[in-house]
């Protein structure tokens, strides 16, 4: 999920952007009559005409309505085919409806969906997560958001401390404690757009800049911090990669101050079969994930060390275990676990990543080629099967730098232009993700369309 980006300088003439955008809106509306019809009907029964409010933010006067999706493509209700480089912002990183997961789900639906009892699948999945990510003990939720909510509660519970540290411009789902940011003077404040916070986030949260080791040390030395909740690389404000040594410092400082280190791998799973943690040898105390791990069937998971598990077990009475704020009736249900088992063991395999990672590079190579052919001061970041370009010459090192490089109008144009030519990018970002079903031809189609748009914009590149 995204964060709003302010308008920024991109070296592109805004009037050229406005002119091209108007033409793309016109094209979009002319070629999507059936989506418009459904949207008009939808508006009478859903606020904004969408099943979830943020879907109004897709570029275009109305969203594209999907007829069917398969592998790396989907078809809309007007019959257009799209290369899906958004893939449900990772929920469909497996490709849409991967055959093995679909077969398992079909079968499981007829054999029981939920019963509040464990199945053998839960054991197999936990064993597989341990093999991939290194943490020995696992629990299951219905979303990554829930996994993050639960581990924050546990962290506060076992440490007796009230705050968590997050990075500026992070996103970890709709988790109250994470809707905080830094103001100009470096104070933790409620984040722009924060809807109905239960308390001032400064009460619960200490925000530090990504890659700011001194800031991190100041926060942890306060003695108020239960846990650091961190993506290994920021992925929701553009991609911001860690400086060499940042993760080592994060681990050393959290250990020194007895603060739990929670790594959220929901998006950085793109780095490889064991996520960024596996690819770079991180040693978190707790790990969270969701989205792709059950092929799109709702599922989340969190893993922990034996030590964290012992601390939790020693502090919670059996009698209270269902009423303390951890759980959910459907969490760990038969269907989610069956889908997770097949997705992890048969779909998101080492071999699949062997195909996805080079495709991520191929996509970024195509973007880099366009950027350099037109002499634009932009750069493209790579995170395994994921890539993202930013309107700034150097890779941003902090969330604030990435946010300052954003340009909402230009992004809307890039998204609408590519959409009109059969390519869906991750909304509100310039991000693309490769699935096991994505092909080189899919990637090359993006390279072609991206280059074509730059050609139409470049007349306005300023000296
Ligand atoms: C890093 C990260 N963690 C957690 C989440 C929450 O995922 P969900 O909305 O599926 O619960 C997101 C969503 O975008 C995310 O990017």
Q: If you measure from the C-alpha of residue 384 to the centroid of ligand 1, how many angstroms do you get, rounded to a whole number?
A: 18
Q: If you measure from the C-alpha of residue 267 to the centroid of ligand 1, how many angstroms do you get, rounded to a whole number?
A: 7
Q: Is the pLDDT of residue 296 over 70?
A: yes
Which residue's CA is the nearest one to ligand 1's atom 4?
172
pLDDT digits (tens, 9 = 90+) for 345-364: 999 999 999 999 999 999 99
pLDDT digits (tens, 9 = 90+) for 161-209: 999 999 999 999 999 999 999 999 999 999 999 999 999 999 999 999 9
Reported as a pLDDT band with limits 50, 70 and 90, residue 9 is: very low
pLDDT digits (tens, 9 = 90+) for 29-42: 999 999 999 999 99
pLDDT digits (tens, 9 = 90+) for 222-266: 999 999 999 999 999 999 999 999 999 999 999 999 999 999 999
Work out the mean pLDDT of the chain and round it to a whole number: 95
Reported as a pLDDT band with limits 50, 70 and 90, residue 8 is: very low
Q: Name the residue of 55, 91, 145 whose CB sits within 8 Å of the most ligand 1 atoms, as the mutation to test its pocket.
A: 145
Find residue 287's DSSP bridge partners: 263, 303
Q: If you measure from the C-alpha of residue 87 to the centroid of ligand 1, how many angstroms do you get, rounded to a whole number?
A: 14
This prediction's pTM: 0.96
Q: Which atom of ligand 1 is nearest to the CA of 90?
A: 14
What pLDDT, on a 0 to 100 scale, did the predictor assign at position 10?
58
Q: Which atom of ligand 1 is nearest to the CA of 146?
A: 11
What pLDDT, on a 0 to 100 scale, did the predictor assign at position 152?
98
Q: Is the pLDDT of residue 437 over 90?
A: yes
Q: If you measure from the C-alpha of residue 172 to the centroid of ligand 1, how many angstroms do you get, rounded to a whole number?
A: 5
Q: Which residues line ligand 1 (CB under 6 A)?
A: 1, 89, 143-145, 148, 171-173, 231, 236, 264, 266-267, 290-291
Q: Name the residue of 52, 267, 271 whose CB sits within 8 Å of the most ligand 1 atoms, as the mutation to test its pocket.
A: 267
Q: If you measure from the C-alpha of residue 417 to the centroid of ligand 1, how many angstroms do you get, rounded to a whole number?
A: 27
What pLDDT, on a 0 to 100 scale, did the predictor assign at position 139?
98
Which residue's CA is the nearest one to ligand 1's atom 3?
172
What pLDDT, on a 0 to 100 scale, did the predictor assign at position 462?
39
Which residue's CA is the nearest one to ligand 1's atom 2?
172
pLDDT digits (tens, 9 = 90+) for 106-150: 999 999 999 999 999 999 999 999 999 999 999 999 999 999 999
Q: Name the residue of 284, 291, 330 whose CB sits within 8 Å of the most ligand 1 atoms, as the mutation to test its pocket.
A: 291
Q: Which atom of ligand 1 is nearest to the CA of 175?
A: 6
Q: If you measure from the C-alpha of residue 448 to the centroid of ligand 1, how many angstroms do you get, rounded to a whole number?
A: 31
Q: If you measure from the C-alpha of residue 457 to the centroid of ligand 1, how many angstroms do you get, rounded to a whole number?
A: 33
Q: If you measure from the C-alpha of residue 366 to the centroid of ligand 1, how many angstroms do you get, rounded to a whole number?
A: 28
Q: If you measure from the C-alpha of residue 148 to the centroid of ligand 1, how many angstroms do you get, rounded to a whole number?
A: 9
What pLDDT, on a 0 to 100 scale, did the predictor assign at position 3?
38
What pLDDT, on a 0 to 100 scale, did the predictor assign at position 2?
41
What pLDDT, on a 0 to 100 scale, did the predictor assign at position 458?
84
Q: Is the pLDDT of residue 52 over 70?
A: yes
What pLDDT, on a 0 to 100 scale, did the predictor assign at position 455?
93
Which residue's CA is the nearest one to ligand 1's atom 14?
1
Reported as a pLDDT band with limits 50, 70 and 90, residue 429 is: confident
| Residue 404 φ then ψ, to 5° | -65, -25
What pLDDT, on a 0 to 100 scale, did the predictor assign at position 12?
84
Which residue's CA is the nearest one to ligand 1's atom 6?
173
Q: If you measure from the C-alpha of residue 33 to the centroid of ligand 1, how many angstroms do you get, rounded to a whole number?
A: 32
């Amino acid at each position: 999920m995204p964060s709003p980006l302010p308008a920024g300088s991109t070296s592109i003439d805004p009037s050229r952007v406005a002119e091209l955008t108007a033409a793309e809106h016109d094209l979009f509306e002319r070629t999507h009559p059936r989506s418009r019809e459904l949207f008009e009907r939808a508006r009478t029964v859903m606020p904004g005409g969408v099943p979830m409010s943020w879907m109004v933010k897709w570029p275009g006067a109305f969203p594209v309505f999907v007829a069917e999706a398969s592998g790396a493509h989907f078809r809309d209700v007007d019959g257009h085919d799209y290369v899906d480089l958004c893939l449900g912002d990772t929920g469909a990183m497996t490709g849409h409806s991967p055959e093995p997961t679909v077969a398992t789900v079909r079968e499981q639906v007829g054999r029981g969906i939920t019963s509040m009892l464990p199945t053998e699948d839960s054991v197999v999945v936990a064993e597989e997560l341990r093999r991939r990510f290194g943490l020995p003990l696992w629990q299951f939720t219905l979303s990554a958001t829930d996994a993050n909510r639960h581990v924050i509660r546990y962290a506060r519970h076992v440490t007796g401390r009230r705050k968590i540290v997050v990075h500026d411009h992070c996103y970890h789902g709709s988790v109250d404690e994470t809707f905080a940011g830094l103001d100009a003077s470096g104070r933790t404040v409620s984040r722009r757009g924060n809807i109905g916070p239960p308390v001032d986030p400064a009460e619960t949260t200490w925000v530090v800049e990504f890659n700011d080791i001194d800031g991190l040390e100041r926060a942890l030395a306060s003695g108020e911090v239960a846990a650091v909740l961190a993506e290994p690389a920021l992925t929701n404000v553009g991609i911001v990669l860690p400086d060499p040594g940042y993760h080592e410092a994060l681990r050393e400082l959290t250990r020194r101050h007895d603060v739990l280190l929670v790594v959220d791998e929901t998006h950085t799973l793109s780095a490889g079969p064991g996520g960024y943690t596996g690819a770079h040898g991180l040693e978190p105390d707790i790990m969270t994930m969701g989205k792709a791990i059950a092929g799109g069937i709702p599922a989340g998971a969190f893993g922990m060390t034996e030590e964290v598990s012992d601390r939790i077990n020693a502090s919670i009475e059996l009698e209270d275990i269902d009423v303390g704020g951890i759980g959910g009736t459907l969490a760990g249900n038969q269907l989610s676990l069956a889908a997770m088992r097949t997705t992890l063991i048969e779909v998101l395999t080492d071999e699949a990543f062997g195909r996805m990672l080079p495709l991520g590079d191929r996509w970024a190579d195509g973007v880099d080629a366009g950027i350099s052919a037109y002499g634009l001061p932009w750069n493209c970041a790579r995170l395994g099967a994921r890539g993202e370009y930013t309107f700034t010459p150097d890779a941003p090192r902090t969330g604030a730098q990435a946010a300052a490089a954003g340009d909402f109008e230009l992004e809307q144009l890039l998204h609408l232009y590519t959409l009109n030519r059969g390519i869906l990018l991750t909304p509100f970002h310039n991000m693309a993700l490769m699935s096991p079903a994505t092909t080189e031809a899919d990637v090359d189609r993006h390279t072609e369309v991206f280059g074509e748009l730059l050609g139409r914009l470049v007349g306005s590149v300023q000296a």
